[in-house]
Structure formats: structure tokens, C-alpha cells
Structure 1
Amino acid sequence: MKVLEGRQQPILEVRDFSFSYGEIDEQPLFDGLRFTLNRNDVTLLMGASGAGKSSLALCLNGLYPEAIEGTASGDILFYGKNISEFERGELTQEIGIVFQDPESQFCMMTVEDELAFTLENRKIPAPAIRGRIKAVLKAVGMEGFENNKIHELSGGQKQKVALAAVLLLEPEMLILDEPTANLDPVSSLEFIKLVGKIQKERQLSVLIIEHQADDWLDLISRVLVIGRDGQLLADDRPERLFTEKKQILEQEGIFLPDAYSDSPAFREKWARIVPSEKNVLSVRGLSFSRRKQEVLKNVSMNVCGGELVVIVGENGAGKSTLLQLMAGLLDPCAGTISLFDRPLGTWQEKDLRKRMGFVFQNPEHQFITDTVYEELTFGMKLNGYADEGMESAADHLMEQFHLKAYRNNNPFALSGGQKRRLSVATVLEETPDILLFDEPTFGQDAATTLELMDYVMALKAKGIAIVFVTHDMDIVDAADRVVVLKQGKVAFSDRPASLWKEGELLQAARLRLPARLRKSVEEGELYDLIH
């Protein structure tokens, strides 16, 4: 259904809308929401991790509560028509969603097959399909990728294909749920610019769900904020919201854009803790291939006790693969990895896991039980904890990571940010010698990011070696050492301060300066870099 009349009326009206998972008498995730989204507006939706932002998006296009066990009350109107009156699947064409993880939207092997599948479901005549695919790929900057396999694309390319598939639905409104969370810094900027271009060309209404607003500020005209209590906390223009309601946002744990924030940079917040000279993990001449394609080539590095090492690079550079090799989850094609000068292959699995903790990029990959409590105590049982000790340790971790209210919840039913916190908590029932984190802060609000980093830095102060894979350049700024991967090779290994002087390398590896230095760039104090 394409609405041709009443273009001046709101595209979406939310009236006293409440939603809860389970029965109606359970505590609502959000309660009595009232707001209006106007045609052609670009609106930012913010809120603390777990506030229900993604769930609200799925309610707005009619997928919830029908697709899950949930209860809703109140009304949502699309161009004045209650969404409950739409035929099944009709509204999802009018209001398209691009999710944080693009792979969750794909069901075919190649780019062309994926996009053709969308058009076939719309009953587009076969002769017209190829032309429409070429046009939409041109629109998202992916011309010539029709025959590429989706799983071989970079993160940014996958997100563009996901956007293309939604655009083929010809929606009136586009919802983007943390679409840049898994992208390298430059791919993130490119995607945001692409969204701005398409929004103007197609006159789309856009709702963006995002924790960090900085790079979206030039596009958005309005910000909605959902509080921890499920109420609409704010609805205002960004320039007024981030100044007049600054204190409220900080209390909610919401990231303020750097232009409006007085918080110290990460590197200033944590006192420098000098790493020990004790070598914990050694990587020597490491190479790895997947399906005859070389992913890593002759990689060598050390990690010492009390050292925070970050691994950065563009999507597809081999960062996650390197971390999995360091954890002993993959076997190298060549080279060695040693923990305390002892090859990983000679360690008993149980002993290795006591000395080393690993947090996957995708939290679901490490969940194996039915409740948060069981997930936290699974390893404790294997390690022979007494019942009383398990209860006490699990309670402490749930308190530390704001999961106490979800003790009996299924881990897979948690929000993205809550899943991440649980995945981190599960490796901390003991204090290992080295912790490996793959994107530990994505999906987290400002408060939980700072708490997690405070916790990590406290572990570092005890002499624990920490390795991060991250796209967050402010965290990179606070590290002892940064390793840049480019095309599977180590292109740089030194202090962050030295990296910030390597303008050509930053551009080639699709990285950016941290926020504190980007401000200086804008003031003309440093070289112009990526913008």
C-alpha cells in the first residue's frame, strides 16, 4: 500500500503504547509511549542498553508482538491507519528495517540471488528483476557485485547489501538499528553518508537507533530518548536536547556527542599502568588460510602481563581470526602460539581455559544454557565450585554487570547490550592470566561502557594481560600498544601516540583519530585526516 494522500500528516503516530514480553501483568519494557514521526524527517532514537529500542522498532513495523510471546496495548498508526488493520507482511514493506547484524537478514548465497529473492516475493515480473538489481546496487555503491558471495564481503559491503534489499521494498520509512556497530571507522562514515544521500533522493522518513550520535548529527533533526523506566524521557531538537537536558542524559548513562560532552577522554580517565616485562602470550610467524584464501600472513606479536593491546584494522583484515587463533579455537597453517613459553597445543583444554578467557564477537556463540544464572555458573560447576560459592560469585557478577533482574531469563532473549555483558561476565568467574575480547563494548551505553572499562583496567592493574579487537578509536587511544592489521599482515605495532602521526597508514587501514584529536583537527591544530 502506498499512501498518496495526506502527505502533510504524520507518517507514524504512537499513542499510549506499552509492550511486555510474556503476560500482560508483567513489567512492561516500555510503558505509555506517545510520539509522532513526520514524513521526510530523520529521527534518532537513544536510550540506555536494554531500554527496549530494538523491540520498539519491531513493534513499529508490526513484527512484534505477533512474532514472539509478547503483549502490547495502545495504538500505532501508519498514515492514520492502525497497524493492526494491515495484512500480514504488508507493513514490513512500508517500514523497512536494517539490523545491526546484516547476516541475520540474508537467506541466499550471492548478492544477486539475495536481491532477486526480495523482488520475487514482491511478485515483480522476471524481465524487470535484473534491471532493478543493477539500479539499487548502483544506488548503494555496490555496482558489479551481483555474482559475489555474501559471506566473502566485508562488513561494510554486507550492510550495503542489507540496505539494498530493504530499498527494493520501496518503503515509505526506513529504520536503522545500530547499523554501523560492526563496521570499521571509515566504513561507518561511508554508510552514514550513503544513508543521507538516499534519504534525500527518495524523501524517506528515517529512524536511527544508535548509542553514539556524533557522526549522525548532520543528518538528524530530532532525538527521542527512552528512559530506563520505559517512559519517553525526551523529544527535542539535538542542539537543545544535548545542552538543556545534558544532566538527565548523563544520569541515564547515554553517550553525549563529543561536541557537547565535558567527560575526560578515556586515556585521561585511567592512569597509565606500566605493563610488566613478563611475556604471557607469544605469536611467531603465524599464517592462516580459509578455503584456500590466505587470511593472515607471517604475524608476530607479544602480549605482556598488565598490558592492554588493541588490534585494529578494516573489516576483513583478519582481526577476529587472529584472536581466535590466540585463544586456541583455530589451528594455524604455519607458525606458533605460546602461553608462558609453552605451545597452546600442549595445554590440557581445562587448564588452558583457567588461564585464558575469550569473549566472542557474537555473544550467542558462547551461550549454552537456558538462564543467565546457569550461564554464569556453568564453568564454576566444571571447576568444582561448592553451591554456596557459586551462588555468591554469580550474584556478584550479576550485580557488577546489571543482570540481576534477568537471573532466570534465557540468554538469547536478552537485549544486544545485555548479551554482551553476560558474555563478558561468563569468563570472569576466575581471574585468568590473559583475557581476549572481540568488540566488548559494541551495543553498550556510556555508563556500561565506562563500567566495563573500569573493570578491565582494574584487572590490568593486577597484572592480567588484556587483548581487545575494537573499532572504538577512543579505547585504542587508552591502550598501551596498538597492532594494525592490513591485508592479513602487521602494518604497525607501537604506542597509540605514534599511530596518530601516521596519516597515510590511518587512511589505508580505514581508521580515524580518537575524538580528542578530531576536535583538534577541526580547530586546525593537526593535519586533516579522513573527513
Structure 2
Amino acid sequence: MRKVQPKQNPLLKVDQFSFAYENINKPLFKELNFCLYENEVTLLLGASGSGKSSLALCLNGLYPDTVEGVTSGQIYYEGKNISDYPKGEVNQQIGIVFQDPESQFCMITVEDELAFTLENRKVPTSRMSELITEVLHLVGMENFRTRKIHELSGGQKQKVALAAVLLLEPKLLILDEPTANLDPYSTLEFIKLIERLQKKRHFSILVIEHQSNDWTELINRVLVIGQDGTIKVDDTSDNFFQKYQQLLSNEGIFQPHDVMDIYRCQDYGTASPSEKGWILTIEHLRYTRKEQAILNNINLKIRYGEFIALIGENGAGKSTLLQLMAGLLLPDEGEVLFKGQSLICWKENELRKQMGYVFQNPEHQFITDTVYDELTFAMKLNNISKTDMKEIASTLMTQFHLEKHQYDNPFSLSGGQKRRLSVATMLDETPDILLFDEPTFGQDAKTTQELMKMIWKLKQNGTTIIFVTHDMDIVDLTDRAMVLHNQEVIYEGVPETLWQQEELLKKTRLRPPSWIRKNVESGVFL
């Protein structure tokens, strides 16, 4: 933990502040009181859906103006009410790297996006190239200057989003789960980058994270928003997690190095892969995008009932391979066989009954106007009775803590709630195989544990599970890990053996799970 800075006049003061999306009598969070100080790093914790991202958007003046929201109380920036600043001024002084980086992009290429930011600051054209070069070097994206943003991986997009915010030269930087889409080594690099930048530029930082393991050395203070929408803790970082262990557990918040305790819950059994043979086979698969090879000569076999982790660094092609497995993309060469039959020979409706897919971005799979309709959409197509449909949907909403949102638009949910809904829509019946792209992204400890319990029960019932994930603690639970690197699968085997291969881990930008790292000297596995 870093030494706490001596207190002075606050950079930002929140005074009896409440926010609601429609009715202030039903606030998302209420009567918040806290201050953020210059050159201080504060960690904001809270359960998924507690309003952390909405609070961040209120702090920099985007909310409530850009949504149908209402507030009470005040927010002061440098002693002045933020409502008294000219439009757009506070947004530059308080920069946000959003939970979903795509939501803040306006242009097509990386260079144009950064130039757009500089134009808004009225920076002379003659200086733009130099500033863009400098900031891309800072975030390690020098070679992506002319690339189209939509072609980048999730982690690469996050770095571009950070670069754009850094060009604003903010006094307060808000990071909303900034490492959720980064591979393990890039996560560490990102945090070290933030630490170097903060020491150099002396801006304040508010970090919103569910898993705080790698942030603890950077943090001065910790704020906790409870599930009831109030501030439960505002304290220094010294011994914070020991001091408030029970409260954090009650609130469903991850504590450093307790991840395996969350995942290895008592309901986990020892379900073994079925002896029925191979449910999915990939033969000599090759896939290119705009003449650039993404995957080459992929050969894999996956058994009925296996739990598989598909891992690798950002941009390795994990999501692409998962989409090829699901038939959402077609290979340039080779073949994907499902139950011994090529995917191209399957009728679409029959394939989707037996294969479920959860996208990396939950919004990509939403097609209705309410949570209830989203959960029942497939059931209606399958002619499920209204009584059964209502019962199944009610059960899923309870399991995924969405019962209060059944009439809400899916796009209005928090990031964590969107993720839970996207997973729930795949569980209206039990498919033979489920493919998940980062399913635990944005989830607190409680909902992560509940999701993993559901996954384990599905596995015990014979469902094949494939996870694309950056969470090595989850990888440690799987039957096999498959590591992608340089367009190929370079490791295929049990996780236990993978953790012993330090050179391979370094090359693929992976790290062992937290329970291993905490038992060795710092830096051994980095």
C-alpha cells in the first residue's frame, strides 16, 4: 500500500448525492458523502449493479444530462459546483476510461480517434502528430496508429481509450474496470503504466475494480458502496481487507487472493469427461481476415462433458476460434465437426438448440426490449407453454439477481447485469455444448460463485463447456487448457502442468493463478 498523502482541500467533493434513472424516491445510490484529493489513488468497490459506473459518469458531469436520470445533492470540482461549469469542461478535467471502450469511440482509425480528441481541445494541427506519437508510445500501441479500431482486440481498444483520455491531460482519471479485457501480463503492464503516469503527471485516480489483487500497492484509500446504495466504508488502504473482511464478504466483494475460495465452492464435484467420444473436432482449420492470417492449422478434439479453457494474450484469436467453433464464422480452410457432422451441414435451428454461445460483448446478443422478453425469446420460438416459460424465466431472473429488472431494457442494465443476462439467455434449456467468451467479466464475488456453481452442475449433467477467459483462477478448474499463440495452439493439456512452464507463460503473456502467485516471491512468475 502506498503512503497516504496529507489532506488538503479536496479536488472533488460529493455532498449528500443521490441518483436514480427515473424516480429519485428509488435511487440507485443515495446520500453519498466523500472527497477525492489531489495526487491520491482511490479504489471504489461494490457489488455488481451497485451503481459504481453510474457514479463515475455523474462525477464527470455526463450524468444525468445524457440519460433520463434525476439527482439530489451536489458535486463540487475544485470548489465549484460541476453544474456551473460550461458544457464539456468538466468532461475534460475528469477523464473516464469506460468499462466498454467501444462506447467512447467516434472515429474509424486509431489515429483519427486521437486526432478527434485533440481537435476538441483546439490543439493546433501542427502539434497533433507529435502528441499522437507520444501517447501511443506511452500505452504501447505505436504499431497500431493506422489500424481500424473495430479490428482491434478488446485489450487493444482499452489502450486506445486510455490514450484518448490521456490527451485531455485530466486532473482526475477514472478507470472503470480497465483491465477486464486484458490478458494477465498486459493487466500488470497496464497497472504499472498507470503508476508511472500518475507519478509523472500527478493526477488523481479513481479505480473501479472487482478483483483488486494487482492494484493494492498503488492504492491510498478505499471506498465501498453497499448493495443498499450507501457508502459503507471510506478508509485508508492500510490493512483494509483484513479490517473489513466480514463486511466485504457480506457485500459479495472479492478480496485479494480469495478468488479460489470463491470458485472452489463446496458444490463442485469431480465430474469427469464422458467416454462417449468427441463432441467437437477441428481439422486443419485456417482463418484469415483481410488477407491477414488469424489462425493457422488448428487441430483440436473436445470430448463430451469436458470443461475447456481457451487462453492466450490479447489478439491471439481466442474469440475468433470460439466463433468458428460455433459456426458464426466460416474457416477459409479446414472443417469444424459437431457430433461428427460438419457445421455447414447442420440446420441452423437444430444447431442452436444443441449449442449455446455467450458473446464477449453482451449487447451483441440482445434483440428485445425487456429482460423478460430476452429470456423468453428462444422459448417462444420453441413453442414452450406460457406457464412453463414464466416459471423458467422467473427461476433464471432469481438465480442471476435480475428479478427487479424484468421490465427494464437490457441496454439500460449495468455492465455486470448485462453479462448475467447474456449468460441466462443460454440456460433456458440445457444444450449439449456451451461456449462462453469472458463470462465472468464485470461480476462480483457472489455472482461469480453462483455462475460457477451453475457451470459445474451443467458439466456434471454432461454439458461440454468452453471458456475464453483471462482469469487464470478459472483456468485452474478446467479439465484442459488450450493456449493460442502466433496463430496456433502451442499448449494443450492440464492446467497444473501449464503453471510449471515459466518460459511458455512469459511468451504467451500469461501468469499462474493467484493462489500460486501469493505463495512465491514477487516477480518469480512475471
**TM-score, normalising length: structure 1:** 0.95
Q: Would you say the 8 A contact 2:259–2:514 is kept in 1?
A: no
Residues 192/15 of structure 1: CA separation in 2 closer, same or farther (3 Å cut): same
Q: Which residue of 1 aligns with 2:272?
A: 274
Q: Which residue of 2 aligns with 1:528?
A: 524
Match runs of 1:131-142 below 5 Å: 131-142=130-141
State the alpha-carbon separation in 2 of the partners of residues 22 and 241 from structure 1: 35
Q: Which residue of 1 aligns with 2:176?
A: 177
1:290 lines up with 2:289 in the alignment: yes
Q: Which residue of 1 aligns with 2:187?
A: 188
Post-superposition shift, 1:222?
Answer: 0.6
State the alpha-carbon separation in 2 of the partners of residues 343 and 265 from structure 1: 38
Post-superposition shift, 1:144?
Answer: 5.6
**Residue type matched to 2:286 in 1?**
S
Structure 2 residue matching 1:264: 3-state secondary structure: helix
Post-superposition shift, 1:469?
Answer: 0.4
1:264 lines up with 2:257 in the alignment: no
Match runs of 1:69-108 below 5 Å: 69-108=68-107
Match runs of 1:70-469 below 5 Å: 70-143=69-142, 145-258=144-257, 261=258, 264=261, 266=263, 270-278=268-276, 279-469=278-468
**Residue type matched to 2:197 in 1?**
I
1:14-48 residue CA offsets vs partner (Å, 9 max, x unmatched):
000000001333x1000000001111100000100
Instruction: Identify unmatched segments of 5+ residues in structure 1.
Output: 1-6
Q: Would you say the 8 A contact 1:286–1:297 is kept in 2?
A: yes
Q: Which residue of 2 aligns with 1:23?
A: 23
State the alpha-carbon separation in 2 of the partners of residues 155 and 406 from structure 1: 28
1:232-281 residue CA offsets vs partner (Å, 9 max, x unmatched):
011112333211210110011000011xx496374585333211122211
**Residue type matched to 1:471 in 2?**
H
Q: Would you say the 8 A contact 1:211–1:254 is kept in 2?
A: yes
**Residue type matched to 2:169 in 1?**
E
Post-superposition shift, 1:135?
Answer: 2.8
Instruction: Identify unmatched segments of 5+ residues in structure 2.
Output: 1-6
Post-superposition shift, 1:167?
Answer: 1.4
Q: Would you say the 8 A contact 1:156–1:188 is kept in 2?
A: no
**Residue type matched to 1:21 in 2?**
Y
Post-superposition shift, 1:168?
Answer: 1.3
State the alpha-carbon separation in 2 of the partners of residues 292 and 262 from structure 1: 41
Q: Which residue of 2 aligns with 1:32?
A: 31
Q: Would you say the 8 A contact 1:44–1:207 is kept in 2?
A: yes
More displaced stretch, 123-132 vs 406-415: 123-132
1:11 lines up with 2:11 in the alignment: yes
Residues 263/504 of structure 1: CA separation in 2 closer, same or farther (3 Å cut): closer
Structure 2 residue matching 1:218: 3-state secondary structure: helix
**Residue type matched to 1:447 in 2?**
K
Residues 140/342 of structure 1: CA separation in 2 closer, same or farther (3 Å cut): closer
State the alpha-carbon separation in 1 of the partners of residues 345 and 147 from structure 2: 40
State the alpha-carbon separation in 2 of the partners of residues 52 and 11 from structure 1: 22
Number of residues of Structure 1 aligned to a counterpart in Structure 2: 518
State the alpha-carbon separation in 2 of the partners of residues 97 and 444 from structure 1: 20
Residues 268/8 of structure 1: CA separation in 2 closer, same or farther (3 Å cut): closer
Q: Would you say the 8 A contact 1:309–1:481 is kept in 2?
A: yes
State the alpha-carbon separation in 2 of the partners of residues 438 and 59 from structure 1: 30
Aligned-CA RMSD value? 1.6
Residues 210/428 of structure 1: CA separation in 2 closer, same or farther (3 Å cut): same
State the alpha-carbon separation in 2 of the partners of residues 177 and 147 from structure 1: 26
**TM-score, normalising length: structure 2:** 0.95
Q: Would you say the 8 A contact 2:263–2:452 is kept in 1?
A: no
Residues 265/424 of structure 1: CA separation in 2 closer, same or farther (3 Å cut): closer
Residues 307/366 of structure 1: CA separation in 2 closer, same or farther (3 Å cut): same
Q: Would you say the 8 A contact 1:61–1:91 is kept in 2?
A: yes
- The percentage of aligned residue pairs carrying the same residue is 59
**Residue type matched to 1:380 in 2?**
M
Structure 2 residue matching 1:49: 3-state secondary structure: coil
